[in-house]
Amino acid sequence: MNKFFHDKVKDVSGLERLQAIQVMKDELNKLENDEKRKQVLAAKDETGNTLFHTAAACGLDHVCQFMYEYGVDLETTNNAGHTPLFTALGVNQDIKLGKWLLDHGADPTVSIIDEKSTWTVFHVGFVLDNEQVMRLLVKYGANPTIPFKDGTVPLMYAKIDEKRELLCELSRRYNRRVEKLGAYCSWCGKQPNTLKRCKSCYVVFYCDVDCQQYDWKFTHSKSCRKPIICGKRLAETMAKAKRKDYVKTEPYIYLKDATLEQELSVWKSYKKALRKAVGKHFVVALQVYEHKYQTIIVYNQDHSIHTKVFYNCDHFDWLRHLLFETSKKQVLFLWATPCDPDNGTLFVYPGKPAPQQPWNDPVIEIRPFDKGEAPVFKF
């Protein structure tokens, strides 16, 4: 029956395919018990594909549904390591079937690992430039920043701004989702799906305004830590740089040997990125800069937002102490949001570390991501 179904469904369409499906249903119903039906559905052809793989590759969602009712394994793999979800979204790019599989428990984080590469379904969606696939997977828990086997992340291969912005948006959603896992209302202890953060410290969660007001009155007002403003001197520095009598003694932003025109161009791009991010919260990395530890650099995932905290700024000593105390790699991840885009300032929330990220630079200096060639996935 397996070979009959594989051949008919893959090679024909229309009436013959429907007849083949009906024959398979009739044959399955003739079997004595569910255990035998599971054995038939779990049988594989020479490539390791089960009937479920074949149905997923052909986009037969109704066939997948009745197979699921018979207890088929959603995580079964073929010889290439593909699960039915990998086949539906990575090979066939069938959004409807992919959503159905995810709704019924398919794992969006499953990886294909071999000697040369590591692939997730999200990686395939990225290489195929399918925004719908990427958004769907992140909605169900896929990590858009998971690295390839060589340590690079998808963002490093995004050559156009729209794609880079999409990946940053998906990463922001994923990080917020991770932080809400296991979160509860700081006042009543409940865990509804509508939890919202304290806007002042961005640490505690609340069910609603009532819980927030009660907690503030009795507890949180004493422990709420306000955000730190980073980048105060950048606007002043760039203003001084425009004066004819100003002598450059250090990089204005982060470029060592750049001309004034290049620095002003970077400054313009930075302010533009801040304006786009107004009202959004995202993860930034804090890292000690220079051998004398007199500067802390702050940057987001794609380095479109980058600023400094100088040794004579408020909170510098406390931030440096926090960085060395909490991170062996001298890199600390915190939540941030724009403060005043025109002045290049950024609110950074030090009350609680953000989720760890794989994209921090292994070197001290900030450098833009290389826009290299994306890996090639072979089906």
Instruction: Divide the 379 residues of the chain into consecutive groups of 10 and give the mean pLDDT of each group.
Output: 51 52 67 71 80 81 80 85 88 88 90 74 90 93 86 81 88 90 90 88 92 92 88 68 59 58 77 89 84 75 82 78 71 90 88 82 40 48
Supply the range of the domain harboring residue 142: 2-176
**For residues 276 and 302, what is the distance between their CA atoms, to the nearest angstrom?**
14
pLDDT of residue 134: 94
Considering the domain architecture, whether residues 22 and 130 belong to the same structural domain is answered as yes
- pLDDT value for 22: 65
Residues 23, 144: one domain? Answer: yes
Residue 281: predicted pLDDT: 92
Tell me, yes or no, whether 372 lies in a domain: no
The CATH number given to whatever domain includes residue 94 is: 1.25.40.20
Same-domain check for residues 160 and 256: no
Q: How many domains, the chain? A: 3
Let me know whether 97 and 189 are in one domain: no
Q: Are residues 324 and 286 in the same domain?
A: yes
Distance CA 370, CA 174 (A): 23
CB 156 within 8 Å of CB 370: yes
Q: Is the dihedral of CA 348, 158, 235, 297 positive or negative?
A: positive
- DSSP for residue 225: P
The three-class DSSP label of residue 42 is helix
Tell me whether residue 362 is in a domain: no
What's residue 362's pLDDT?
42
Q: Are residues 20 and 80 located together in one domain of the fold?
A: yes
Q: Is residue 163 part of a domain?
A: yes
Q: Are residues 142 and 83 in the same domain?
A: yes
Instruction: Let me know whether 239 and 219 are in one domain.
Output: no
Query: What integer pLDDT is reported at residue 54 of this predicted model?
Result: 80
374 belongs to a structural domain: no
pLDDT value for 99? 93
On whether residue 48 sits in a domain, the answer given is yes
| pLDDT score of 21 | 62
Q: Would 253 be classed as within a structural domain?
A: yes
Torsion sign across C-alpha atoms 96, 101, 105, 106? negative
Residues 164, 52, single domain; the answer is yes
The C-alpha atoms of residue 172 and residue 179 are separated, in whole angstroms, by: 11
Domain presence at residue 235: yes
User: In this predicted structure, what is the pLDDT of residue 319?
Assistant: 82
Same domain, 94 and 146: yes
Asked whether residue 133 falls in the same domain as residue 192, the answer is no
Same domain, 264 and 292: yes
Closest CA to 120 of 157, 150, 95, 83: 83
Residue 204 to residues 169, 195, 197, 225, 306, Cα–Cα distance (Å): 23, 10, 6, 11, 26
**Residue 167 counted as domain residue:** yes
The first and second tokens of residue 252, run together, are 């204005």
DSSP alpha helix (H) spans, 104-231: 121-127, 131-139, 161-180, 209-215, 221-223
